[in-house]
Amino acid sequence: MKTRSNTFIPERETAWESCGEGLCRQIMGYDPHLMVVKVAFEKGAVGARHTHYHSQATYVVSGRFEACVGETRRTLGPGDGYYVAPDEPHELFCLEAGTLLDIFSPLRADFLK
C-alpha cells in the first residue's frame, strides 16, 4: 500500500470511486498522519451510522445535510462543518445534493487500494 499521495492532485486527473448508493469519493491527498477526501452525495443518499478509530473533521462545500454525531443532530449547509472524535458513532443524510470535504487523522488505509 502506498502511504503518501503525490504532491499535486489535479481534480480532473483524479478518479472518483463509488462508495455506496448515491455516494462517491475522490482522495485529494494523504500521508500516514492525514487524509483529505471529497465525498459527493446525491439527494437522499445516506452515510450509514458507523464508527472508526480516526479523528474526522468535515466541511460542507455544497448541498444540505442532516448530520448526527453521537446523539446530537444538526442540519448543515455550505460553510458549516463538524468534528467526530475517534470511535464516536455518526451518520449523515443528504437533503440536497452536495459535496463534503472529509479530513481524517490518521489516514484511512481502508480507502486505499
**For residue range 70-81, what is the model confidence (pLDDT) as tens digits?**
999 999 999 999
| Residue 107 CB neighbour total at 10 angstroms | 23
Instruction: Give how far the C-alpha of residue 77 lies from the chain's centroid of Cα atoms, to the nearest Å.
Output: 15
Mean pLDDT of the chain: 96
Q: Are 70 and 89 spatial neighbours (Cβ–Cβ below 8 Å)? A: yes
Distance CA 45, CA 65 (A): 10
pLDDT score of 1: 76
Domains and CATH numbers, the chain: 25-108 (2.60.120.10)
pLDDT score of 107: 95
**For residue range 28-69, what is the model confidence (pLDDT) as tens digits?**
999 999 999 999 999 999 999 999 999 999 999 999 999 999
pLDDT at 7 over 90: yes
